[in-house]
Structure 1
Amino acid sequence: MSDVMLANFKEEQSAKIPALTLLTHLGYQFIPPAECLTQRGSRSTVILPQVLRELLAKKTFTFMGKEHPLSSAAIDKIVHELATPAMNEGLKAANEKFYNALTYGIGITEFVGGKKASPTIQVIDWENPENNVYHFTEELEVENSQGTGKRIPDLVCFVNGLPWVVIEAKRPDSSTEGKATVSEGISQNIRNQKIDEIPHLFAYSQLLLSVNGHEGLYATCGTPEKFWAKWKEEEITEAEFSKLKNKALSKIQLDSVFAHRPQKVREEYESLVAGGDRVVTDQDRLLVSLLRHDRLLDMTRLFTLFDKKAGRIVARYQQVFGIKALVERITSFDDKGARNGGVIWHTTGSGKSFTMVFLSKALIWLKELARCRVVVVTDRVDLEDQLARTFASGGALSGKDKKEAMATTGRRLAEQIGKGNERIIFSIIDKFRTAIKLPECHNDSPDMIVLVDEGHRSQNGENNIRMQQALPNAAFIAFTGTPLLQDDKTENKFGKIIHSYTMQQAMGMTNDHIMSCISYTACPDFG
């Protein structure tokens, strides 16, 4: 057997087939490569138009108190808009434009009984993952932007006919000594995004993965290699991973996955399955953790940011589980009707500012937090400015909103707390000294959330008392990166620890040579 054939065989058996079978168990429907090409219509088309059309045909809009189906013209408009990403503006802009269409919806014009309606259509049902359709294929042949050649990503996952996830699956042993094969998959993903390659595929991508059978890393469109990250799961149990990995494929599923392969490949797989339960690998954990339908939707809508400096950012696992724990905490109330708070203890360099921005996205999208306002409190002007820039850059604030959000004086802070309607307020904690003396500096609404940056410094003495007096029913959340000592009162002042990410966990990630920084925010260039 030649070296190329041997390498391909190892890639198939070690990485690709385990990924194919696991995605099938996760509820993705497999489309063989030839059939997928037929559905696409050409190698330059990367969406599945008919899948999208069939989904849109089930959509309705409300007008004059009644539900109406979409017209053929409206369906054509949406399909055309999604099938032609604005690549003339560059991949980053095209990807962000597509993301906005996914999250905010697409506006159309309809005429009902001669009257004009202008509904916004949501292509994705974010609230009910089961209402979307999920497919995947392998060896997706995509013609490059110049029409002179093609690239063939190993695996691509589609949501409602749109290619959301691109996966490179490599053999476990590298031909280059000292270089992990996941690095080869990362390099291919990055290369394929270049202007003369297949950037039009990545205009749609929400997550990118590189796996090799044993391990896997993830990132998103535009992520440099050093920021590709490992995932550590905190909710799904090992028993659940094992159950999914060792679930038997039905005959129909087996035929679908193996019909276009040599018979010996299927026999090898069936022999492996007959040998008993297979061990769960980090590749399996990554695929299940990120590509389970509900998690994929959350990672896209809640845990993705477009930063003006760093580009597109997808959350690290500590940010995801920190926010999930935080949302659970602040949606609960004590016996007096006040929102519960607590402490987010994430070590320095773990991306606390972006964690706060991810929380702001939760406030926008989660119904249970829709009425909440946020007060961001720091103890230094440079921190206040940095966080305001991060919120603005991450899309949580417009330029006008940023100006209105700043509590420039104690009087301004008092007015914002008592009479304002700004969704986000930024203040230096010392301004509470002046503000609390003014009668308007009081708001007993439980829909106020106070984020206190570096809570171990800001919580002491009168400062904390002033905040509690002004906002008696607010949820107070302290963010700290400093290890909490036994006599540290941060937890006592703000409540229990909601989520922790310690230096030991961060060092573990670094020692695995997963990335040079925990996230963009770990690097000096990104604050």
Structure 2
Amino acid sequence: MSFTPPSYLEDHASQVPAARLLVQLGYTYLRPVELHTARGNRPDGVLLDSILLAQLRRLNTISFKGQTKPFSEDNLRAAVDVLAPTLDDGLLRANDRILDLLMLGKSFEEEIAGDRKSFTLRYIDWEQPARNVWHLAAEVEIAPKDGGKPCRLDLVLFVNGIPLAVIECKRPGGKDWPGDAIHQLLGYQQPNKLAPLFAYAQLLLILNDHDARFGTIGTKEKFWSKWSEREPQDELLGALLNRPLTEGQKDALFADRFAYLRPYFDELELDGGFGLSAQAKLLHSLCRPERLLELVRKFTLFDAGEKKIARHQQYFVVKNTLDRVRHLDAEGRREGGVIWHTQGSGKSLTMVMLAKALAMEPDIPNPQIVLVTDRIDLDRQIERTFHQCGLIPTRARTGKHLKELLADNRRAVVTTVLKKFSSVVRTSRDVSSNPNLFVLVDEGHRSHYAAMHAEMKLALPRACYLSFTGTPLMNAEKNTAQKFGGFIEPTYTINDALNDAAIVPLLYEGRHILQSVDAAGIDKWFGVVSEPLSEPQKVALKRKLGTKTQLNEVESKLQLVALDISEHFSRFLQGTGARGMVAVANKAVALKMKAFLDELGKVTSEVVISAPDRPEDNDDDVGYDGLSGAAKAEVQRFWNGMMQRYGSEEAYLEKVTGGFKHGEEPELLIVVGKLLVGFDAPRTTVLYLCRRLEGHALLQAIARVNRLFPGKEYGLIIDYFGVIRELGAALDLYGSLPEFDESDLAQALRNVADEVENLRQHHSALLAVFKSLGARADNESCERLLYDNEELRQDFYERLSRFSRTLGLALSSEGWVERTPAETVELYKRDLVRFQAMRVSLKQRCAEDIDHAEYEARVRKLLHTHVKSDEVLQITQLTNIHEREKFQAEIDRLHSDRARADTIASRLKRTFTERIAEDPFFYRKLSRIIEDVIAEHRAERLTDAEYLAQMQDAYRQVTDRERIDTPHALDSQPAARAFFGVLEETWIRRGLNTEAQRQMAVEAAIKIDTIVKAERRRDWTRNADVQNAMRARIDDYLHDFKDQHGLDLDFDSIDLIIEGVLGIARARYA
């Protein structure tokens, strides 16, 4: 290939290939001038009004009493107006409201055949994608709500003029490219930025050639997903990629900004050189018209205050289930089945998505859908979801009410709890023979799995039963599952979820407190856990702890466990946002555990149990009935107190678990069984096991800590009961649980000891970053090496993160601390402090953004707990360079002239980037000077002191606004001074270099400033009419001025001056 692109930037590496494929998928590319016109020439416009109006006319007619007529123009325009986002209640609510309108349409009154009635107007034809119009725009500039510099979006996809998808493109090779792209999109969604655009957006994509992910509005970084097709797409996609564009399509795409790339892409097209990149696969999977509409309509929903879109396993299992149940067999039944999607992968939401899809399925008349779940919060989600299908779900109040609802064959959605449903099918016969009845059960509890099938066949003989499970089926259960129709593909195992990063890995550590409770063992353990305390504190704690002679053996064990839990959580997790659960044997033990934790006073906790007379899920052999009279009385007193405080069991559960999920406390929940199944609190990081659990119940329990949460790298299981023996490899677990099929469960759990074994390797890898320095690896040499090499610096950050994370895990493990030489532990601690200090210094020296707040919290916790340094290292937000005293104090803390100069240079360059719109000439010129000084220093033609002096001089020029060779007449007029820079650049290009001509530029800058001030109005940066008036007046003035002074200024030069001036004016006078 003869043509080489000028640089490996986003344009040709990601953005243009993405745009080209989207054109091949059926989108029409809009050139900037076409986009501007379609937006009504509004800088802040996000709807393509003219296109939307045309489509509303095309898609909507009124038929009544044999007559047909179009909607009135007034109603069509009203339909556009009502689609405007209302952001008073936040972006999420605005997006929800707009999705309602897009799904359900809007009713307007029209007069036809002598009657005045309401008729529904549709914005999108969901059933026939080809009847909609599909547009694509690149480099979409939108004025933000705060009136600042326009934000530029790489690609926006419009359906009937409505922006349904936003795409951010990045070049390959960036170390943290997903984080950068996601944070950029999240920043645009802020109320003062582009919230009006994202009120419409349903799908967001981040792309580069090697990787591609998707989310929706508000999706946090950990939850952005990759997509995997079930059927091979490579041949189809390869042919599509290498199908030539038409000349008209090329003329549109390669006009304007991308014109320089046309020869390159023409040669690629001739050579058939378009490969199957990650971004091409994702665009084809999600953005082809029929798939995009399907995802928006059936696979997006709102859950617990967040908007969510289906992952690949959710989408395909719903599609396959619909294919399975669409047709009746010879006996008039529909084949059901079991959906196995591992816990934490969105199983409950898959259930809701399937129910929604069933309700919208045209081949199933009047579907009756019963959702059986124990998630109370899911009921609220279900109500919102089915509103968009035109249905209002009914919650069965009693068993009798449920039976009545089941007997009613009308189209409906019913929600109930498992026990109520089981009771009805167990005690009733022939409640309904409706073949369009679907029973969707979230099988958290499977003790009655086999009985359910036989009972349901009698009560609901023609119903279709669809079971959802998050844990692997025991081999015996798989036989029963076949009676329901067997597994529905795709199953989604723990391995699948780990590979997709849909859950975090689980780490396990066995603690041996319960194996030895003699006095010597207690004293030894007391010495370990009380090490951080002063002598008076140790005495006080030992008095509380008591001795074996004062407490019976059970309470002694429990007290030691409480002490260890308190120390472990407070030392390693407290203050990081993490939460923990403590699983104990029965209700009485739960109350004792809380009493012991409260005595210690280090962590906050609450007890969550069922009513005293009701058994707990997974209850131990010694349940409530086996308790002593005194213990029962204590449990009853506790329960009465909770009912008096909260008013009802539901309010008690909601308040306590709500604080645990979203509030500051409790930090620990103490449970027996109630929340060990189906409870979803992603911030739960550690499960302390203090009771026996087996098989399915054990797997349910440990999955409480596998949910994704920002800053959470793993879930931790601390086992005090010997539930899971020491593991050399994960499959040892399943060898001790023979009732499971091992192939279902590989990789479910890893031993902490195995993870900690990697610590030496991570430490060596961190030191290897500096191997090129040899004996010169002092801190300044290390920092300088990393300052000059961004790729190596990012590698250092990643290696340090791995080392810090693994060291924190090691220090929290009793086994590692006991068997590791003290000098090795101290070496690791010293290096942790040294390299964290280096990281802080580099972040400031390079003026890098401060992100990964959760990681920062974990590192601070680690240093606080184990290093006891006088000053825990913490990266603070960068000081504004115009806050002179604070900035100077920051500079003075640095250890060398070179570090001070580097920091000033980086901070100035960052300031130039952020504020270049205010004065492009000044900042570009000063930036070139700084780059020259840096180059001189690197070439060793400047000493460190001279380098610092020149950086300080540049700093003064910025903060004092000292001009680089700027006329004094402009000293008190900063906007005119910036306009002068634009004029002077044009003068130089046109050869207007005399002093007299320079003074003419001063005169013109002052006059242009006067024009801008005279024309500006409130919110003028979002008013196209005001900006056009400014353009016209400045244009008239400059033409008169050039004629008056005989200046050689052509039309293009004047246009460049005007656009440059308006850009500065928007930044300065917004």
Whether these two folds match at TM > 0.5 is yes
Question: Which aligned pairs between 1:51-450 and structure 2 lie closer than 5 A?
Answer: 51-58=51-58, 59-82=60-83, 84-112=84-112, 114-174=114-174, 178-179=175-176, 181-235=177-231, 237-261=233-257, 263-307=259-303, 309-377=304-372, 383=374, 385=376, 387-392=378-383, 394-395=385-386, 404-406=394-396, 408-409=398-399, 411-419=400-408, 422-429=412-419, 432-433=422-423, 436-438=426-428, 442-450=431-439
- Answer whether contact 2:64 2:113 (CA < 8 A) is retained: no
Partner of 2:20: 21
Q: Which has the larger radius of gyration?
A: 2
- Answer whether contact 2:67 2:113 (CA < 8 A) is retained: no
Q: Distance in 2 between the 1:262 and 1:31 partners?
A: 13
- Answer whether contact 2:367 2:438 (CA < 8 A) is retained: yes
The code of the aligned residue for 1:152 comes to: R
Give how far 1:460 is off. 3.2
Give the secondary-structure state (helix, strand or coil) at the position aligned to 1:305: strand
Q: Distance in 2 between the 1:397 and 1:156 partners?
A: 25
- Answer whether contact 2:439 2:463 (CA < 8 A) is retained: yes
Give the secondary-structure state (helix, strand or coil) at the position aligned to 1:154: strand
Give how far 1:512 is off. 11
1:489 partnered with 2:479: yes
Q: Distance in 2 between the 1:521 and 1:211 partners?
A: 31
Partner of 2:44: 44
The TM-score with structure 1 as length reference comes to 0.88
The code of the aligned residue for 2:454 comes to: I
- Do the aligned partners of residues 393 and 353 (structure 1) sit closer, same or farther apart at CA in structure 2, a change above 3 Å counting? farther
Q: Distance in 2 between the 1:222 and 1:263 partners?
A: 35
Partner of 1:503: 494
Partner of 2:31: 32
Partner of 1:523: 682
Superposed CA deviations along residues 177-232 of structure 1, whole A, max 9, x for unmatched, are x31x2322211111001011111111110111111122111111121222111111
The code of the aligned residue for 1:198 comes to: L
- Do the aligned partners of residues 446 and 420 (structure 1) sit closer, same or farther apart at CA in structure 2, a change above 3 Å counting? closer
Partner of 2:975: none
Give the secondary-structure state (helix, strand or coil) at the position aligned to 1:248: coil
Give how far 1:521 is off. 6.6
- Answer whether contact 2:322 2:358 (CA < 8 A) is retained: no
Give how far 1:390 is off. 4.1
Partner of 2:452: 463
- Do the aligned partners of residues 118 and 458 (structure 1) sit closer, same or farther apart at CA in structure 2, a change above 3 Å counting? farther
Give the secondary-structure state (helix, strand or coil) at the position aligned to 2:183: helix
- Do the aligned partners of residues 251 and 65 (structure 1) sit closer, same or farther apart at CA in structure 2, a change above 3 Å counting? same
Give how far 1:271 is off. 2.1
Give how far 1:280 is off. 0.4
Give the secondary-structure state (helix, strand or coil) at the position aligned to 1:369: coil
- Answer whether contact 1:377 1:429 (CA < 8 A) is retained: no
- Do the aligned partners of residues 325 and 523 (structure 1) sit closer, same or farther apart at CA in structure 2, a change above 3 Å counting? farther
The code of the aligned residue for 1:11 comes to: E
Give how far 1:275 is off. 3.1
Give how far 1:34 is off. 2.5
Give the secondary-structure state (helix, strand or coil) at the position aligned to 1:367: coil
- Answer whether contact 1:135 1:159 (CA < 8 A) is retained: yes
Partner of 2:893: none
- Answer whether contact 1:459 1:493 (CA < 8 A) is retained: no
Q: Distance in 2 between the 1:246 and 1:312 partners?
A: 36
Higher strand share: 1
Give the secondary-structure state (helix, strand or coil) at the position aligned to 1:140: strand
The code of the aligned residue for 1:466 comes to: E
- Do the aligned partners of residues 23 and 186 (structure 1) sit closer, same or farther apart at CA in structure 2, a change above 3 Å counting? same
Q: Give the stretch that moved more between structures: 287-296 or 489-498.
A: 489-498
The code of the aligned residue for 1:204 comes to: Y
- Do the aligned partners of residues 512 and 75 (structure 1) sit closer, same or farther apart at CA in structure 2, a change above 3 Å counting? same
1:452 partnered with 2:457: no
The code of the aligned residue for 2:152 comes to: I
- Do the aligned partners of residues 262 and 432 (structure 1) sit closer, same or farther apart at CA in structure 2, a change above 3 Å counting? closer
Q: Distance in 2 between the 1:434 and 1:54 partners?
A: 54
- Do the aligned partners of residues 494 and 352 (structure 1) sit closer, same or farther apart at CA in structure 2, a change above 3 Å counting? same
Give how far 1:143 is off. 0.5
Give how far 1:159 is off. 0.1
- Answer whether contact 2:144 2:150 (CA < 8 A) is retained: yes
Q: Distance in 2 between the 1:521 and 1:274 partners?
A: 54
Q: Give the stretch that moved more between structures: 451-460 or 499-508.
A: 451-460
Q: Give the stretch that moved more between structures: 22-31 or 298-307.
A: 298-307
Q: Distance in 2 between the 1:70 and 1:413 partners?
A: 44
The code of the aligned residue for 1:208 comes to: L
Unmatched runs of 5 consecutive residues or more in structure 2: 505-678, 685-703, 708-1070
Q: Distance in 1 between the 2:314 and 2:339 partners?
A: 10
Give how far 1:87 is off. 2.3
- Do the aligned partners of residues 252 and 35 (structure 1) sit closer, same or farther apart at CA in structure 2, a change above 3 Å counting? same
Q: Distance in 1 between the 2:423 and 2:503 partners?
A: 47
Superposed CA deviations along residues 47-69 of structure 1, whole A, max 9, x for unmatched, are 11111111122220222232211
Give the secondary-structure state (helix, strand or coil) at the position aligned to 1:252: helix
Give the secondary-structure state (helix, strand or coil) at the position aligned to 2:156: strand
- Do the aligned partners of residues 222 and 501 (structure 1) sit closer, same or farther apart at CA in structure 2, a change above 3 Å counting? same
Give how far 1:363 is off. 3.0
Partner of 1:516: none
Superposed CA deviations along residues 21-43 of structure 1, whole A, max 9, x for unmatched, are 10000000000122211221211
Q: Distance in 1 between the 2:105 and 2:22 partners?
A: 27
- Answer whether contact 2:135 2:161 (CA < 8 A) is retained: yes
- Do the aligned partners of residues 22 and 521 (structure 1) sit closer, same or farther apart at CA in structure 2, a change above 3 Å counting? farther
The code of the aligned residue for 2:135 comes to: H
Give how far 1:431 is off. 5.1
Partner of 2:578: none
Partner of 2:623: none
The code of the aligned residue for 2:69 comes to: H
Partner of 2:892: none
RMSD: 2.8
Q: Distance in 1 between the 2:387 and 2:461 partners?
A: 26
Q: Distance in 2 between the 1:87 and 1:389 partners?
A: 22
Superposed CA deviations along residues 404-463 of structure 1, whole A, max 9, x for unmatched, are 422533x44333323475521424257545654446x52111011111222881663433
Q: Distance in 2 between the 1:25 and 1:310 partners?
A: 37
- Answer whether contact 1:416 1:425 (CA < 8 A) is retained: no
- Do the aligned partners of residues 195 and 433 (structure 1) sit closer, same or farther apart at CA in structure 2, a change above 3 Å counting? closer
Q: Give the stretch that moved more between structures: 103-112 or 127-136.
A: 103-112
Give the secondary-structure state (helix, strand or coil) at the position aligned to 2:446: helix
- Do the aligned partners of residues 423 and 370 (structure 1) sit closer, same or farther apart at CA in structure 2, a change above 3 Å counting? farther
